Structure 1
């Protein structure tokens, strides 16, 4: 395992560019670990509709960064009290969606600090039934990134102010509000420490879990590549917000794998545009699936035939094909 120094950068666009650059360009013979802390920001899941996930007026007023990440899952709020970790490794197919494998060493360190930490639900780390961390994954070829947040001393009121969290998600977790289901790690520690100290304790614990362990500083040439990726991708409106599709049908439902939200534009009985949003985790990019629907008659029989040779679970995880088809067809018109 090689620990990559991010040199104290707190710009979320730069840190996400660094993470992706390492994933795509560093020697696949090694595993990598990355820590970073971001300035106040909202990090949007790969498949989400940004404008519907954020409190746009508040975000603009407070100058909060809005950045889309390459992994699925839901939107999260970051600030200087939030420590982010990222494992960049190879995968054999079995590691995908195996959040237990990649959260285990982090949970072990938290437990050593006296916290009753455990993995719950799809991808959350909780302490005494309070969420203190969410995790997500992304894969490309045989490489993958498994990353997560650790709420250490975050301004939890800002989580509520900056995000538009949908009520069905809160209800599905059995809580009355966002604030009631999240907590900071600092609340559970017997001795007060700063986030910098927590970072070192976590790093020491992870060192013990993976020997040998070394640190690495990027070269000037590698940093140039990171900044270039930031400029052409993470700094752009198209990546962070994307163009809202024209639609006259909306259909959404929360499944065990997460929310699936469809926007479909049907004209003269045929699908002219098709877009899927949500906080689910999938292996394959949605664009190829969405493109299949263009020109298809908006009829259940045609849609079923279209998907005959498509593995829906590659895009959404453990979502039955029949459930997906039922969601696509029979939607209410919302002109």
Structure 2
């Protein structure tokens, strides 16, 4: 597995790069990745079938010149930016049979994330299918989503550690589809930051996967694929 510590300058590049890695591994039927990234720019991301008019206060986003983009995976609408660490996995279904079942794949991956957090004294729990929240007050700090290919999956998630939570309240409407554990709480009562050093979390998480190489730059082939994706997607 290759570890990628790689953040791009634009929101579009940061989103599309995950898709490029999945595309390349599917094409070659080889390779697994763990990527970390964090945007310095605030932007909004819709899930694959999300609707901006339903999820986003578009007037405020336009007023603040905040981009509204779409990712290829499922899940709900989120706000990205400084203080929100992202982790992305490209994993082989053949190497790990648990990944062939969507529910087991979430349990496996988020189990590793939770184990890493517990080593940093964060007491948290998994709320199926895609959330992690603090055990004490069930406040959410991590959301996750997947895009499932034929032989590989893309799993990516967020980790709020020093994010301006007021941005979520400003730009996102209350979702119609809410998990039971949310108990109709407002955005500010439901989400929270966790007190961690993001670099310490990276170290803990990467210990749980067979990392053989670390890279902090994009390869030539990856750049060609990404440029094509940026034009065609």
Fold agreement, TM-score > 0.5 = yes
Q: Does 1:159 align with 2:160?
A: no
Q: Does 1:223 align with 2:223?
A: yes
Distance 1:10 1:199, change over 3 A: farther
Maintained 8 Å contact 1:131/1:182: yes
Where does residue 111 of structure 2 map in the other structure?
Answer: 104
Where does residue 200 of structure 2 map in the other structure?
Answer: 201
The structure with the largest alpha-carbon Rg is 1
Q: Which residue, 94, 104, 110 being the options, matches 2:100?
A: 94
Maintained 8 Å contact 1:28/1:89: no
Where does residue 270 of structure 1 map in the other structure?
Answer: none
Distance 1:221 1:56, change over 3 A: same
Q: Using the alignment, how far apart are the partners of 1:33 and 1:140 within structure 2?
A: 16
- Using CA pairs below 8 Å that are at least 6 residues apart, which structure has the higher relative contact order? 2
Maintained 8 Å contact 2:178/2:184: no
Where does residue 145 of structure 2 map in the other structure?
Answer: 136
Q: 1:123, CA displacement in angstroms?
A: 1.1
Within 5 Å, which residues of 2 pair with 1:118-267? 118-127=125-134, 128=136, 129-166=138-175, 169=178, 173-186=182-195, 198-216=197-215, 217-233=217-233
Q: 1:170, CA displacement in angstroms?
A: 7.2
Q: Using the alignment, how far apart are the partners of 1:184 and 1:101 within structure 2?
A: 23
Deviation string, structure 1 residues 107-145 (Cα, Å, up to 9, x no partner): 111111111021113211011311010011111211111
Where does residue 281 of structure 1 map in the other structure?
Answer: none
Q: 1:168, CA displacement in angstroms?
A: 5.7
What residue ranges of structure 2 are gaps of 5+ in the alignment?
none
Q: 1:166, CA displacement in angstroms?
A: 3.0
Where does residue 83 of structure 1 map in the other structure?
Answer: 85
Deviation string, structure 1 residues 155-186 (Cα, Å, up to 9, x no partner): 11110111122356277721331111110012
Distance 1:112 1:172, change over 3 A: closer
RMSD: 2.0
Q: Using the alignment, how far apart are the partners of 2:189 and 2:213 within structure 1?
A: 39
TM-score (norm. length: structure 1): 0.62
Distance 1:167 1:138, change over 3 A: closer
Q: Using the alignment, how far apart are the partners of 1:36 and 1:25 within structure 2?
A: 19
Tell me how many residue pairs correspond in the alignment: 222
Where does residue 37 of structure 2 map in the other structure?
Answer: 36
Q: 1:212, CA displacement in angstroms?
A: 4.2
Where does residue 50 of structure 1 map in the other structure?
Answer: 52
Maintained 8 Å contact 2:52/2:58: no
